[in-house]
Amino acid sequence: MVAVASTLVRAARKSRRLTQEQLAERVSIDQATVSRSERGRDAEFATVDRLLAGAGHRLYSAPTRRDDAATVAAEIRDRLRAGDKDRALRSLIQLNDDLLAERGLVRGVLGLAEPETTTDPVWDAALAALVAWRLDEEKLPSPDWVNAPSRFVQEPRGLEIDPADPVPPTSDVPAEFAKRGVLVWRDTFASV
């Protein structure tokens, strides 16, 4: 629960555009406790629940062991910082597989928490596209974050994994990806 709890606390705080100090003030604790929780150093249920409530969120449990979009975004950010776009893509594909493996409400829960930025607008848009695409397949509403302006790329681009890879024509790009300006082959997300 440590890594997931830290991601949830940070995502909840940022979704309300609160600083750590503001959240601490709301729940009458010190800023250091908020910081420790966001780094996974204080994952006590009571603390996590209190911080989420202070940001206007509730903690729910879903019957799954799969990672949600917020957790995958943090993993992609780490991979990109390490210069490993191939592993970042594998994380995105794993999120796709996890979304496809779940049905109904549980699938929706995997896309609910707003991910922090990966620090790359194309990857941020790709995450939003994937969640919107897979939730729409289940006729589930998309969370607001997937339609935020920061989840769209003005000039269509690929994920640039391998410079030798050809850019797919729009006809071979899933509609949600094309809509957000992310050029990625539909086959990338096909089951193997």
What are 53-96's pLDDT values in tens digits? 888 877 666 677 888 999 999 999 999 999 999 999 999 999 99
Give the residue carrying structure tokens 């449990």.
Answer: 61
| CATH code matching the domain that covers 2-54, chosen among 1.10.260.40, 3.40.50.12280, 3.10.450.230, 3.40.640.10 | 1.10.260.40
The predicted structure's pLDDT at residue 1: 41
State how far the Cα of 96 lies from the Cα of 83, in Å rounded to an integer.
22
Average pLDDT over residues 135-140: 94
| Of the candidates 129, 130, 121, the residue with the CA atom closest to the CA atom of residue 180 | 129
Each residue's pLDDT tens digit, 176-191: 999 999 999 999 998 6
112 close to 12: Cβ distance less than 8 angstroms: no
63 close to 104: Cβ distance less than 8 angstroms: no
| Segments making up each domain of the chain, as ranges | 2-54, 69-189
- What angle (nearest 5°) sits at the alpha carbon of residue 165, between those of residues 122 and 151? 10
DSSP secondary structure letters along 18-61: --HHHHHHHHTS-HHHHHHHHTTS---HHHHHHHHHHTT-----
Chain centroid, CA 164 distance in Å: 28
Strand partners, 182: 157
Q: Is the pLDDT of residue 43 over 80?
A: no
Distances (CA, A) of 138 to 68, 107, 125, 135, 178: 16, 8, 20, 5, 20
Residue 72 token pair: 């995958």
Chain-wide mean pLDDT for the chain? 89
